[in-house]
Structure 1
C-alpha cells in the first residue's frame, strides 16, 4: 500500500509539472476563458488586498493573508475549503493598518498569521477554529525589531520567526507549542548582519525542511543563513544573487537539506530578472541559476528537477518553470503573483489586488 500511495503521489506531481510546462493559451484565442491563463484558473478574492501570505493544506484547502491597499485599511485573512470555488473572510478582529505577510496553516481549522512592521506592528495570531476566533500570541515590544517571515518544523510545534537585525544581528523568535507562545532566542549564535535585512515579499524569506532552517537577506549583502539546531546558531553564505537597497533574496525552497533554490531580484528594476535565482546541491555553497523574465518572489519544488517561480512588481510579473533544478527557466504565463505554494496535484498562488490562481486537479 505504501508503494502504491508513493506511485500515485509521483504521478500527480509529474502530471502537475507537465501541466505547468504546457505553453499558455494566446490572449487572442477565440472563446478564451478570461478566468484562465494557460492552465491557471484565476480570480479576485478582495480587490483591496495585496496578498503575500499563502499556505495550501491540500488540493481543497488553502489560506491567504494580506494588507489593505487603502491607507489604514484592515489586513485580511481568507480561507477556502472547496479548491478556491469560494473564500471566507476569517480575519482577526481589530486588524486596521496591519499587514499580514505570512500565514502557516496546519489544517482547515488551525493557522498562525504574522503581521509585519516596526515595533508593535509586528504581531502573531493563532486560530484553532477556522478563524472564527483568534488569540494574539505575540506583540513585539522592541522598537528596532521588524519581523518578516515565520515557519514551523515538521509536526507543527516548534516554529521560528525572523526579524531584521537588532544591534547588528538578525533576531529569531521561537515557539515550542504550535505558536501559542513565543520567546526571543539569544543572539550569540547569529553572525554579524549589519546593513542586511529580510524582504517580506512572499512569506518565504524563512523556510524550514526537516531539522534545517534557512532565511535569505538583502541590503548590504545577499546571503542565505542556515541553522541545524532549531535556530540557536547560524552560518551565512553568499547567495549568488546581487544585493542592493531593494535587492537580494526574496524566497527560498528546499527539497531536503542539500537541494535548495533561492529567488530574488531588485524591486527598483522589477522587469529585470537577471541573476535572480541561485541553487545549492550540497546545502552549503550557492551558485547562480538561470535568469528570470520577472522578479522572483517565491518558488516551489514540483519534483526532483521541476520548479515553478512567481513574481510581481511594477505592474508586471510572471510565472516561470524550470525542468533542470533551476539552471534554466522558461516563462509560461504573464499572470503576476507575489506568493506560491504547491501540494500534491495542485499549485496555488496569490498576489496584488486580491488575485489568486490555481493549477492542477
Structure 2
C-alpha cells in the first residue's frame, strides 16, 4: 500500500518494515499474558533475515511462507512438507530487492507468489514442481500501480490480485488458467477509491469464498469491497473499522460466503485494538464486533473459534474468540503478521525475524 506507507516516513517501505526496527513481542520487558483455551504457539526461526508476511498452509504437513530480506538481500520462499520439522528454501532466483508478500498454494508442488511494489516491482511467479523452477507469469507495467495481495476461487483456475488505485480506482488483475497468465480488468465497475489504499500486511487484504470476492481498504476511508462476478464489478461498504493514514482493514476471512470477519487497526497505534474487528452475517453489510488488545493483521477460523494475530514492532499478540468475534481473549504475547488455519485443525503463523509458529 504505497500511499499509506508514505504518510509515515519518506522511504517507500516504511510502514511495511516498521515492525522490523524494534524488538519483537515477547522480548525483555514484555509481560506475558496467561494462556487460555489450551492454545499455545510452538515457534521456529526459519530465517532471521526475513520478515514473513505471506503464508499458505495446505494441511498439517505442508505450508509455504514468503518474505523480504531486512538487510537488502534476496526475498525468500520457504516450504515444509513434514509439519515444520524442516524448511527448504525453494524461491525463484533473481529476487534480490523484491518483497514477497503473498503466496497461494494448491499443494506441495504448485504455488504462486506475489512480489509487491510500485511499477515493475509488482510481479507474480508460479511453480509446479515444488520450487525447483519458477515462471514469471505477471509483471506490472503501470508505473503508478502497486499490487498488494491475491487469492484464487475454489476451482483453482480463476484468481484475482488487487492494486492500490490508479486514477482513483482500485485495479484488479485476473487469471483464468490457474495463474499461468494474468490480465488487468476494466475499471468501469470499480467505485471511486480516491485517497484509499490496500494494506499488504498479511497477504489477506483480498479473500475469496465460493463465487464471491472481497478486499479491504484504508486511508481516506475504511471500506470493504465486494464482487460476485469474478472481479468485474464491485460494491463498497463502510467497514466500521476506523480509517486513517496508516489505518483501516488489514485482512478478511470467510467461514461461508455469508459469514465473514474483518480485522485491522492503526500501525501508528499498534496497542489500540478498539473497533479493530467487524463482522458480517450476509457478506454485504458489516457491523462492529469485539475489541482487541492489539492490532489485527490477520484472522482465520480454527474450527468454531476465530484466531487473530498482529505484530506492530514490540507490540502485538494472538487472540481467540469463541463467539464469532463478539468478544476476544489474548492467549499469547507471541506476535505474527500472517496466519492460516486449515480444515484438518492445524494453524500456522509467521512474522518478523523469520519466525513460524504452529498452534
TM-score (norm 1): 0.88
Match in the other structure for 2:333: 334
The aligned counterpart of 1:316 is 315
Alignment gaps of 5+ in structure 1:
1-25, 30-36
Query: Alpha carbons of 1:194 and 1:79: their partners in 2 closer, same or farther (altered >3 Å)?
Result: same
Please give the per-residue CA displacement for 1:315-360, whole angstroms capped at 9, x wherever unaligned: 221110001101111100000100000012210000001000002x
Cα distance in 2 for partners of 1:256, 1:192 equals 28
Q: Write the distance in 1 (CA, Å) between the matches of 2:202 and 2:268.
A: 17
- Cα 1:105–1:267 change in 2 (3 A) is same
Taking only aligned residues, the RMSD between alpha carbons, in angstroms, comes to 1.4
Residue 301 (structure 1) shift: 1.3
Trace 1:339-350 onto structure 2 (pairs within 5 A).
339-343=338-342, 344-350=344-350
Q: Is there any run of 5+ residues in structure 2 with no aligned partner, and where?
A: 1-30
Aligned residue pairs total 325
CA distance in 1, matches of 2:299, 2:33: 29
Residue 307 of structure 1 aligns to a residue whose secondary structure is strand
Q: CA separation in 1, counterparts of 2:52 and 2:128?
A: 22
Matched, 1:159 2:165: no
Alpha-carbon separation, structure 1, partners of 2:240 and 2:39: 32
Which structure would you say has the larger Rg? Answer: 1
What's the counterpart of residue 205 of structure 1? 205
Give, in whole Å, the separation in 2 of the partners of 1:326 and 1:40: 21
Kindly tell me: are residues 246 and 27 of structure 1, through their superposed partners in 2, closer, same or farther at Cα, counting changes over 3 Å? closer
Distance 2:159 2:221 in 1: 26
8 Å Cα contact 1:271-1:314 kept in structure 2: no
Q: Work out the CA distance in 1 between the residues paired with 2:32 and 2:283.
A: 41
In structure 1, C-alpha distance between the alignment counterparts of 2:240 and 2:103, rounded to whole Å: 28
- 1:270 corresponds to which residue? 270
Q: Which residue of 2 aligns with 1:55?
A: 56
| Corresponding residue number in structure 2 for 1:105 | 105
CA contact (8 A) 2:279 2:288 kept: yes
Superposed displacement of residue 314, structure 1: 2.2
- The match for 1:68 is 69
CA distance in 2, matches of 1:288, 1:349: 25
TM-superposed deviation, 1:27: 6.5
Q: How does 1:27-46 map to 2 (within 5 A)?
A: 39-46=40-47
1:204 & 1:38 partners in 2: Cα distance? 23
CA distance in 2 between partners of 1:346 and 1:28 (Å): 23
Cα distance, 1:146–1:56 mapped onto 2, change above 3 Å: same
Cα deviations by residue, 1:149-182 (Å, 9 ceiling, x for unpaired): 0000012110000000000000000001111100
Structure 1 residue 38: deviation in Å?
5.5
- Alpha-carbon separation, structure 2, partners of 1:124 and 1:237: 29
Q: Which residue of 2 aligns with 1:126?
A: 126
Contact 2:32-2:332 within 8 A present in 1 as well: no
TM-score (norm 2): 0.89
Contact 2:241-2:248 at 8 Å conserved across structures = yes
